[in-house]
Structure 1
């Protein structure tokens, strides 16, 4: 019988159910990526993934409303190390993305590490043991018969809860008085029959723009309550034909090139969503007007109502081929007057007009600026995360937080994008965290302790410069309210540059940026640890590819015709 693998290569078993090398909170895209990086880069399988839901997938499991899909091209919205050649559409739908994530979790044998229906209540750092103590509540009825609550001790803690996980409900007087059906777009009830119903949709963001065209097909009437207009660009969504999918599958270089070209195009669009004075910003406005007046040519009364009064990029720019078209339907109404209250039968607006509804849908987004909510986090010296973040969430490159040793975040503060795929950011963050984890576990292998936390002055300097740059961006436009920023205008969610810029900043861990404590401090080697990055932008121009291909074909023709040897003799 083979000898068992050494710690931390051995997975957590029954006897050590409450101890692990690493605890990951969340089984969405970030949690899956983090787990794979622990396996690949830290040679670690001694981890658990805590998930409050009953399955993996994160936001793609939660958001299953009609028409739910991604606004990034499918070939870029997937892991670089697990590219999917079988996407059926240019923009993937929720079910297809969910199936992709489930397949990756299965391929990497991650289900054995997941503890589902398990919600994290609090995580506290033990200054003496130099370990995290994470307390969970079990919600599954049968699982609660074993243990309703318990605490896991770990060397490292990773938050993979993301920014879009807790639904945001509006504060409208009388919400509890409404006697009809209500649901949030992120908590869709598919058992409810929409056929012939009078429906209200509160909100006009990305979720509303995707679901309204679908439910308008079956509703007797549908009213959209818009608080503020959004900039819109065409999706130009199409099916990917079988022949193209076959090329992606059997000719990987073709797929890699396609992904790189999409990456380039998205990176080049950054200026248009960041700089309100750029040509890209003007282009967005121009395309918007073309779509608006084309699709609503017979409804000029809606043009002003649908035209934003702020810079493109300030709020999430929406991609849709049918939003304006659906607003032209006879059974769809756009309401821009302020909602004053909800009644037992419907919704009343500011001048007293009211409508009766069977169903009210809250397409009002998430509590995006309250990272880690509602989990209670307590770091070194008893400092809580709410105390650390009393002036707003901030982290070092969105990954590490002062006073939280051996802790890392995926998709943390100021790592969201307005122009490119968040997967590219997540992969880089996981590389960085995996490097930190490896260092901490290497010390423990030697019987030593090691605690790493960013220096407060480093975190402050980084965020001061970040906010300075963001203050000049379209995100800071005072004319719009968005989930990118707090009520006082601090931009807590978005990154200030391109993906490549972020990746290059985070491709090494500089130990001088960290407070290093514990008996294993001497295990740190050198001034920094290189974690690298995935280079996905194009490295070779089309001209180079064309001339190289032409040269190969020319040589092949010459060889086939017997003229190749003649040329060699002539030289």
Structure 2
């Protein structure tokens, strides 16, 4: 039998101290934090055949990030060689692959492995994880097995399970159909008649690419979106040279972090002056991008406030919509036919390709995994009416369990990686005593107190109820059909990071061999957080900012002349 702190090998293949579900940004971050604490007895179960999570699943044309590249990276692995201010899917996936290689994560990952069920055993204080194995060769060894673990971490996130629309006849279409998160690059859409169902962030990225070679593109819009300028551009070689200096790289990231945090007010407060600025900016962008189709201005202008749904950044959506072979359809869809789409008034349109840019099943956290916690309680019962968690990371009646990018941790204004890092650091500290106790042959179970979780979420929902997310005039993937906001965090990133900067052991119920140096009578454990708004003195940063603005002004003027 391998030693308890060694990587899981052949002899202990069905036993692990920690099981992480998902090899995306969250799962990788958790694994790296475990390695930092010298914990190596963990496995990552990935249902796909590569790392990257959403950046491996979403490979549609035009797929890119809507957060600046300087912020869309781990704080401990800032990248100096981004080619654009907003990185594309392939570049992000390459970055993540490099991180996985640097930290030697691949030996810990089991690809083509899907978690079907996880059940907590009160007697042994362990999780029993049921997995199935796909892949032609891998499944020849075993098609399914049970894996026991002291700790279970979910890194599946909120954007992993495609949501297909509930439309009659969807399976009857004889042409080509594909969901944006399951793009088929073997299909050539040149010269084809294309219907795009949906007009959210994904559709806004796909459509400008499709219109370049398609003979006709029709967008079926249910709800208009607020669009603001993206102002993307290539990163100049001179800037890359400067960013090779870690100090300057941190300065740029700090400035961008500061600017993003300042935009929080516009997202949550519909009455703020910044919110009005977004409306004016969006209308100006639309009028400039659609000069030949002013009849569309009204139907493209949302009736709900900015922030209620995710604000989309794009420089090329409206110009694409302005083209003569591109059409906007606002009538509701009655059904999908063998040859195309029928609207509620009975009119039929024929297409060669239907693209479903209809998002993900966001409020169904961990779906379709079946989970059973202490006393056999099912997670679906605990989360009836909407998912809840303490700071989005720990769940009542679920011992030794953690969630990354869980309930109420999504953002509308900043990089989600900043949230994930805080969660991962917190969980690593919370679970550290459990791992160390196991190495000495002892078992500890830790779960948040029910009253603490409920008090936290009552306060959270009270704040959310006054935010733009709760506006009754719009539907969004942030909330359930009943209107409960299960996905978004109401505050800033820094506020969240500070909230998870220490473990308050009094918030947790501890059972098992808890005496001694591991937990004992400790009231709290300080973790701290990565300070990125002011990583250097404000005076120094002000000098750097002034220089950056001067250089940036020169650079933007040059870019404008080139365009």
TM range (shorter): over 0.9
1:128-139 to structure 2, matched below 5 A, reads 128-139=123-134
SS state at 2:82 partner: coil
Which of 33, 38, 42 is the equivalent residue of 2:29? 33
Q: Give the aligned partner of residue 285 of structure 1.
A: 279
SS state at 2:363 partner: coil
Which of 160, 177, 199 is the equivalent residue of 1:165? 160
1:144-543 to structure 2, matched below 5 A, reads 144-249=139-244, 251-522=245-516, 523-525=518-520, 526-538=522-534, 543=539
Q: Which digits, 9 at most, give the CA deviation of each residue in 1:61-117, with x for residues without a partner?
A: 000000000000001000000010000000000000000000000111100000000
SS state at 2:137 partner: helix
- Residue 521 and residue 454 in structure 1: after superposition, are their counterparts in 2 closer, same or farther (change >3 A)? farther
Whole-Å separation in 1 of the counterparts to 2:527 and 2:371: 27
CA RMSD after TM alignment: 1.5
Q: Give the aligned partner of residue 15 of structure 1.
A: 11
SS state at 2:86 partner: coil
Which of 122, 126, 130 is the equivalent residue of 2:121? 126
Q: Which digits, 9 at most, give the CA deviation of each residue in 1:340-378, with x for residues without a partner?
A: 111111101111111000000000000000000100011
**Runs ≥4 residues deviating over 3 A:** 539-550
Q: Where does structure 2 lack aligned partners over 5 or more consecutive residues?
A: 547-563
Q: Give the aligned partner of residue 552 of structure 2.
A: none
- For the 8 Å contact 2:2–2:12, the answer to whether it is kept is no
Deviation at 1:436, TM superposition (A): 1.7
- For the 8 Å contact 1:394–1:401, the answer to whether it is kept is yes
Deviation at 1:289, TM superposition (A): 1.1
Deviation at 1:524, TM superposition (A): 0.7
- Residue 229 and residue 80 in structure 1: after superposition, are their counterparts in 2 closer, same or farther (change >3 A)? same
SS state at 1:15 partner: coil
Whole-Å separation in 2 of the counterparts to 1:452 and 1:211: 45
Deviation at 1:547, TM superposition (A): 7.0
SS state at 1:103 partner: helix
Deviation at 1:545, TM superposition (A): 5.1
- For the 8 Å contact 1:27–1:51, the answer to whether it is kept is yes
Whole-Å separation in 1 of the counterparts to 2:533 and 2:404: 22
- For the 8 Å contact 1:450–1:521, the answer to whether it is kept is no
Q: Where does structure 1 lack aligned partners over 5 or more consecutive residues?
A: 551-571
Q: Which has the larger radius of gyration?
A: 1
Whole-Å separation in 1 of the counterparts to 2:456 and 2:98: 38
Matched, 1:67 2:27: no
Deviation at 1:445, TM superposition (A): 2.5
Whole-Å separation in 1 of the counterparts to 2:87 and 2:394: 32
SS state at 1:416 partner: coil
Deviation at 1:447, TM superposition (A): 2.3
Deviation at 1:159, TM superposition (A): 0.1
SS state at 2:171 partner: helix
Whole-Å separation in 1 of the counterparts to 2:306 and 2:543: 39
Deviation at 1:532, TM superposition (A): 1.4
Residues matched between the structures, number: 544
- Residue 545 and residue 352 in structure 1: after superposition, are their counterparts in 2 closer, same or farther (change >3 A)? closer
SS state at 1:355 partner: strand
Matched, 1:90 2:67: no
Matched, 1:102 2:97: yes
Instruction: Calculate the TM-score normalised by the size of structure 1.
Output: 0.93
